[in-house]
Amino acid sequence: MPVPKTGEDESILRSHGTWLRDEADGARRRNVDRAATCHVAARAGARLDEMRRQKSGCSTTSGREGWNTMSDRPSASPLPLAKKQHVIISQAIERWRDAGTIDREIAQKLTGSIVVAPFDWRRTARYAFIISICCIVIAIVAILADKALLALLQRLFDVPAIAKCGFFAMLSAAIFRYALLKRKRQPQRIYRNEAIFFLGILALAAAVVFLGDALSRGTQHYSVLFLIASVLYALLGLWFPSKQVWTFGLLSLGTWMGTETGYISGHGSYFLGMNYPLRFVIFGAVLTGIGIAGLHFPGKDNVPNADSRGLCDRLILVSQQTKVVGLLNLFIALWIMSIFGNYGDMNEWHKVRQYELFHWALVFGAVAIAAVWYGLREDDSVLRGFGLTFLFINLYTRLFEYLWVPVHKAIFFALLAASFWYLGTRAEKIWNLGKRHQ
């Protein structure tokens, strides 16, 4: 029979549901895996609902006589959680208890229903797949570097380049299909599924290379291959959808931009008066702006299910990856600009005093501070992290530039040690203040 619900119970459950959604979103902003956190929150909510039914003394049946009291109901085994997830759920329980949403008895039972997993197998799986993929890439590079083995493979596969392109295209299609099938059947095996997608990405890259070999007519305009790869990765990333494939589309787009502008300028140092780093500053700024705009697009939290998403919804879903790739391009290019300026000729750069490029260091620092400010205002941990990281990179790069030659090395490293000591003490103080506040 259904469990009767009182008005007070309904209010409690609604409060829990709202808080769980807020906590899951907060955990996502703190770089905790969103799917895992939502799963944990749902399990905690289910346990809370079960305890509420137990406390009401109502019986539930499922094809047999139910349990009428808590003592009759078999106890569930504690839910093992990663340390971060355990902290999130424990804080949720404490907040509910302190706010009076649940009583002390239910809080104790909820706390006892979760435990810290003795070993983080999830993290082990992630690093194992990363190492496996790296070993595959190293093996492929080793084959290409071994002339004898490469000549043997060329004799074994002595077929036209277009046939090789077709083979790798079919192979990538088969791998992507297999990855989609595995993701549909076992969505919880995230790292295994993403590793399969990466193999499909490698196969598609090989197909594009052999396509260029088949269509080449002695021209050096190979940048078009990066454009083809970028379009294919982007379309497939939106179609599947796959954030990893979309990310490779953006990386290919950046490579195409660099090689294409170099080809147009006759492989010179400047394009429209800009050297390579300055071009990537503009490219990164554009991607970052698009990513931030997508994250703040109205109604982005109400996207439909995966099967019914439109093109606009899928673009919004990859806004985070667009922003991260843009930030990487922007800040790395600004860091290079702060050292070399807008010089493309190393001979000309050697004639310039370093203080003449100080304005680029100021621009670099201003952008980093702006990223920190905006990240704090919008509670964006990615922007805040990028801004802080590259702000310190900027400061210590200037330290090496201006003090490495004129200052004795003992004094230099003493100053370096003092700066890190001060940074460590201030960070520890801020951490302790936050801990006391919590």
What pLDDT was estimated at residue 379?
87
* C-alpha distances in Å from residue 231, one per residue of 95, 221, 258, 279, 293: 48, 17, 16, 21, 22
Residue 302 confidence class, pLDDT cut points 50, 70, 90? low
pTM: 0.71
Residue 315 confidence class, pLDDT cut points 50, 70, 90? confident
Task: Kindly state whether residues 260 and 340 are assigned to the same domain.
Answer: no
The better pLDDT of the pair 105, 24 is held by 105
Task: Look at residue 151 and tell me if it is in a domain.
Answer: no
Task: Kindly state whether residues 16 and 85 are assigned to the same domain.
Answer: yes
Convert the pLDDT of each residue in 265-279 to its tens digit. Answer: 887 778 888 889 999
Domain limit, last residue, from 268, 297, 328: 268
Phi, psi of 97 (to 5 degrees): -65, -45
The better pLDDT of the pair 19, 142 is held by 142
Averaged pLDDT for residues 423-433 = 78
Task: Look at residue 349 and tell me if it is in a domain.
Answer: yes
What pLDDT was estimated at residue 35?
45
Task: Kindly state whether residues 254 and 279 are assigned to the same domain.
Answer: no
Q: How much is the CA Rg of the chain, to the nearest whole Å? A: 28
- Average pLDDT over the chain, rounded to an integer: 79
Find the range with the poorest average confidence among 52-56, 418-422, 432-436: 52-56
Which has the closest alpha carbon to 234: 207, 254, 258, 214?
254
User: Does the pLDDT of residue 17 top 80, yes or no?
Assistant: no
What pLDDT was estimated at residue 67?
39
Rounded Cα distance between 294 and 323, Å, is 9
Task: Kindly state whether residues 257 and 274 are assigned to the same domain.
Answer: no
Which has the closest alpha carbon to 251: 205, 216, 295, 297?
205
Task: Look at residue 153 and tell me if it is in a domain.
Answer: no
**Would you call 130 exposed, middle or buried from its count of C-beta atoms within 10 A (0-12, 13-18, 19+)?**
middle
DSSP run (H or E) holding 119: none
User: Does the pLDDT of residue 118 top 80, yes or no?
Assistant: no
User: Does the pLDDT of residue 374 top 90, yes or no?
Assistant: yes
Decide if 287 contacts 326 (C-beta within 8 A): yes
Rounded Cα distance between 335 and 362, Å, is 11
* C-alpha distances in Å from residue 428, one per residue of 111, 375, 389, 414, 434: 29, 21, 17, 21, 10
* C-alpha distances in Å from residue 415, one per residue of 8, 245, 376, 389: 63, 45, 30, 20
Task: Kindly state whether residues 200 and 293 are assigned to the same domain.
Answer: no
Task: Kindly state whether residues 279 and 259 are assigned to the same domain.
Answer: no
Tokens coding 198: 């990466």
Averaged pLDDT for residues 63-73 = 42
What pLDDT was estimated at residue 50?
61
Task: Look at residue 150 and tell me if it is in a domain.
Answer: no
Task: Kindly state whether residues 211 and 301 are assigned to the same domain.
Answer: no
Task: Look at residue 436 and tell me if it is in a domain.
Answer: no
Residues spanned by the domain of 327: 269-406
Task: Kindly state whether residues 264 and 332 are assigned to the same domain.
Answer: no
What pLDDT was estimated at residue 129?
83
Give, rounded to a whole angstrom, the gap between the first and last alpha carbons of the chain. Answer: 43
What pLDDT was estimated at residue 75?
54
**Domain total in the chain:** 3
What pLDDT was estimated at residue 393?
92
Task: Look at residue 88 and tell me if it is in a domain.
Answer: yes
Residue 214 confidence class, pLDDT cut points 50, 70, 90? confident
Q: List 271's β-bridge partners, or say none.
A: 274
Decide if 390 contacts 364 (C-beta within 8 A): yes
Q: Where are the alpha helices (DSSP H) in 121-189?
A: 121-145, 147-156, 161-185
Helix axes 243-264, 276-295, angle to 10 degrees: 150
Which has the closest alpha carbon to 337: 378, 373, 366?
366
Task: Kindly state whether residues 247 and 285 are assigned to the same domain.
Answer: no
Domain limit, last residue, from 82, 116, 150: 116
Amino acid at 85: Q
What pLDDT was estimated at residue 45?
59
Task: Look at residue 197 and tell me if it is in a domain.
Answer: yes
The better pLDDT of the pair 268, 213 is held by 213
Task: Look at residue 282 and tell me if it is in a domain.
Answer: yes
Return the SS3 of 80: strand
Rounded Cα distance between 426 and 421, Å, is 9
Domain limit, last residue, from 216, 233, 268: 268
